[in-house]
Amino acid sequence: MQTEKGQSIEDASMEMIEKEIGSHNYNEKEWPIVRRIIHSTADFDFADKNRIIFSAGAIESGINALKNGCSIVVDVNGVIGGLNKQNPRDFGNNIICNISSPEVMELAKKQGKTRSQVSMRYASSDIDGGIVAIGNAPTALLEVISMVKEGITKPALIIGIPVGFICAPESKEELSKLSEVPFITNIGRKGGSSSASAIINALYKLLRADLAS
């Protein structure tokens, strides 16, 4: 759990973000998520209009899935490193990352795919009804999109915010066209594991606020 000193630093940081941003175009559910991304990256570009894209019902679907103990499948261990570990313990969410699995590594070699791609297929049953969070690998995001279109899996929420130059903007553009499942994504090259974990942490915070109200 957060210490009193740690919480005071976080509160001061959030207050600073509020003051520097001022008015914005996000609603009362979206803004806490965007603000936490800014907090984790110190990148105020994320506050720009439509920089972060929320599909209809994405936040509600993510909150309900977490509350019901869904699995959270991530593309890299860096996403796990940025999570508040108390949250999944409290709500019974299993965090899954298969990127370093020997079976995944072997399959990737045989199939001529990236480990990130194969790790998503490998976790298809966990993704189904769960949350998949991709902060690093565009190939993982494209694979999940393909799996959804093929009817292999249907996550409660896709968090697709991979960082990079090759296929990162394009993969997020493809996600923004997906109508079958709720998603949270962004425009452009920016993103990363810290942004993906920030979104999950913010969803947990919204969930706790809902339960307390």
Tokens linked to 102:
């020997």
Catalytic residue among 35, 39, 51, 172: 39
Task: Return the C-alpha torsion angle 206, 193, 166, 45, nearest 10.
Answer: 60
24 is catalytic: no
C-alpha separations of 15 from 8, 11, 21, 160, 193 in Å? 11, 6, 10, 27, 24
The packing angle between helices 115-122 and 102-111, to 10°, is 120
Nearest to 197 by CA among 5, 33, 19: 33
Angle between helix 168-176 and helix 138-149 axes, rounded to 10 deg: 30
Catalytic residue ranges:
39
